């Protein structure tokens, strides 16, 4: 039986990273191959008030003086154990110290035979074969959103992974092509993961009507679920919606996702001004970052998901993964990475073309609202996940063979 370690390092503190860990776990489980999975989750480095006798003295003095103790540090978002549950396979979750030495100790103690995904190159102290991960080359395609130091750091990180890993997984063929373009001559074998959209079992029980009531959403609506970053191009969607809304007085546009972009703090306020200029401020509901299950419940009842993005590291981004998994229509920009999705309920428009997007939205409104059965969605999702899982196993076996040859 293959004993694998799932590395949470670099993934557990952001929702996209958590979704990627779910994809890896569920895809490996879908293969049906006998395996034992162990999730290694890094604990935050302990602060002074958490250390030994000095910490005990510090806490006692705080309590004696009547001052509250700070809450223990924990990863943001939902409980980490939930990421690895509900996939049809038991995953043993281990909290370990941060750092490569801790990964090495845990791997040896648990008898792990391989580790994945490593979001940066692991040091030689880790003797277990490992599979690297490269997310995207946004800094090369959109350099205006990165400082020179940030871009240089990304380049160094990716080159290090490509030189030290035998296997590297990526979310799309488009990313694999970028590796050849920007990092030619690397030693690693790159494995693009197939599109692995599949529904979580509990999604079918989520009450869309109750969620609509909670957020005050009435009538038909489209939904955009992504951060309010400039390259996500919400403005094109706003312009398209403004045209469609003229003939559909009860139609709403719902937006979920963080409204903060540290790279351009003025961007979101500028979008609000654009909504006012277009005369649709009262008809666009911006909910901000909401719980994942709330977002899924709202997505289920939407006319379609709109994804106007100018750049993604994986096909469609997370929202389209979820929409395809649930049989919800999606309308995407035609950037190369999005075109890797071959699903019948997905349509495209030229990136930045509000007029064509408006036409696609009108077509979605006119189409019959027929959703595939839960059984069909589950079976289709499992088929996608098995393909993705097979690629993951191939990358793992390649890394193990290469290490055996070097031993």
Predicted confidence (pLDDT) per residue in 325-370, tens digit: 999 999 999 999 999 999 989 999 999 999 999 999 999 999 988 8
Q: Which residues of 75-113 are buried (b: 16+ CB within 10 A; e: fewer)?
A: bebeebeebbeebebebebeebeeebebbbebbeebebb
- Please enumerate in sequence order all residues whose Cβ is within 8 A of that of 182, keeping only pairs 6 or more positions apart, or say none: 137, 140, 155, 158
By the 10 Å C-beta count (0-12 exposed, 13-18 middle, 19+ buried), 3 is classed as middle
Class of domain 2-192+384-406: alpha beta
Stretch(es) of the chain classified as CATH 3.40.50.2000: 2-192+384-406, 201-371
- Please enumerate in sequence order all residues whose Cβ is within 8 A of that of 222, keeping only pairs 6 or more positions apart, or say none: 241, 251, 252, 253, 254, 302, 303, 304, 305, 306, 361, 364
Q: Is it the case that residue 73 has pLDDT exceeding 50?
A: no
Query: For the segment 308-333, what is each residue's pLDDT rounded down to a tens digit?
Result: 999 999 999 889 999 999 999 999 99
**Three-state SS at 163:** helix
Query: Token digits for 110?
Result: 């648990």
Beta bridge partners of 91: 37
* Mean pLDDT, the chain, whole residue set: 91
Which DSSP letter does residue 171 get?
A: S
- How far is residue 113 from each of residues 38, 185, 296, measured CA to CA in Å? 11, 28, 36
Q: Shortest CA distance to 200 belongs to which of 18, 35, 39, 34?
A: 18
- Please enumerate in sequence order all residues whose Cβ is within 8 A of that of 24, keeping only pairs 6 or more positions apart, or say none: 6, 116, 117, 392
**Statement: the pTM of the whole predicted model exceeds 0.75:** yes
Class of domain 201-371: alpha beta
Q: What is the mean pLDDT of residues 150-178?
A: 97
Confidence of residue 382 (pLDDT cuts 50, 70, 90): very high
* Distance, CA of 251 to CA of 223 (rounded, Å): 11
Radius of gyration for the chain, computed over Cα atoms and rounded to the nearest angstrom: 23
Task: Report the pLDDT value the prediction gives residue 67, as an integer from 0 to 100.
Answer: 46
CB of 224 closer than 8 Å to CB of 256: yes
By the 10 Å C-beta count (0-12 exposed, 13-18 middle, 19+ buried), 282 is classed as exposed
CB of 303 closer than 8 Å to CB of 245: no
Q: Is it the case that residue 70 has pLDDT exceeding 80?
A: no
- How far is residue 396 from each of residues 99, 188, 323, measured CA to CA in Å? 22, 13, 29
Confidence of residue 32 (pLDDT cuts 50, 70, 90): very high
Task: Report the pLDDT value the prediction gives residue 317, as an integer from 0 to 100.
Answer: 87
């Amino acid at each position: 039986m293959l004993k694998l370690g799932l590395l949470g390092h670099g993934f557990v503190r952001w929702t996209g990273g958590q979704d990627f860990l779910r994809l890896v776990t569920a895809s490996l489980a879908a293969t049906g191959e006998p395996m034992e999975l162990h999730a290694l989750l890094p604990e935050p480095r302990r602060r002074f008030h958490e250390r030994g006798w000095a910490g005990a003295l510090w806490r006692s003095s705080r309590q004696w003086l009547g001052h509250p103790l700070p809450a223990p540090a924990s990863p943001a978002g939902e409980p980490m154990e939930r990421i690895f549950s509900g996939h049809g396979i038991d995953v043993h979750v281990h909290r370990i110290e941060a750092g490569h030495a801790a990964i090495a100790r845990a791997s040896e103690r648990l008898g792990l035979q391989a580790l994945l995904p490593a979001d940066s190159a692991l040091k030689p102290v880790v003797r277990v074969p490992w599979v690297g991960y490269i997310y995207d080359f946004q800094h090369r395609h959109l350099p205006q959103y990165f400082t020179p130091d940030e871009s240089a750091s990304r380049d160094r990180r990716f080159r290090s992974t490509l030189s030290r890993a035998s296997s590297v997984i990526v979310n799309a063929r488009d990313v694999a092509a970028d590796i050849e373009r920007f990092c030619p001559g690397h030693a690693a074998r790159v494995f693009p993961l197939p599109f692995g959209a599949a529904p979580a079992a509990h999604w079918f029980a989520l009450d869309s009507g109750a969620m609509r009531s909670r957020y005050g959403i009435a009538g038909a609506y489209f939904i955009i679920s992504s951060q309010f970053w400039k390259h996500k191009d919400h403005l094109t969607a706003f312009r398209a919606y403004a045209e469609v809304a003229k003939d559909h007085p009860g139609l709403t546009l719902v937006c979920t996702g963080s409204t903060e972009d540290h790279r351009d703090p003025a961007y979101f306020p500028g979008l609000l001004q654009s909504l006012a200029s277009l005369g649709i401020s009262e008809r666009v509901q911006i909910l901000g970052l909401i719980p994942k299950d709330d977002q899924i419940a709202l997505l289920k009842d939407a006319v379609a998901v709109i994804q106007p993005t100018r750049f993604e590291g994986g096909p469609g981004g997370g929202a389209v993964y979820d929409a395809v998994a649930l049989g919800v229509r999606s309308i995407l920009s035609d950037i190369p990475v999005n075109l890797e999705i071959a699903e019948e309920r997905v349509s495209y428009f030229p990136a930045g073309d509000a007029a064509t997007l408006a036409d696609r939205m009108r077509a979605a409104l006119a189409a019959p609202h027929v959703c595939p059965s839960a059984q069909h969605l589950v079976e289709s999702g499992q088929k996608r996940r098995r393909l993705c899982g097979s690629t993951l196993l191939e990358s793992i076996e390649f890394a193990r063979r290469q290490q055996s040859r070097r031993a």
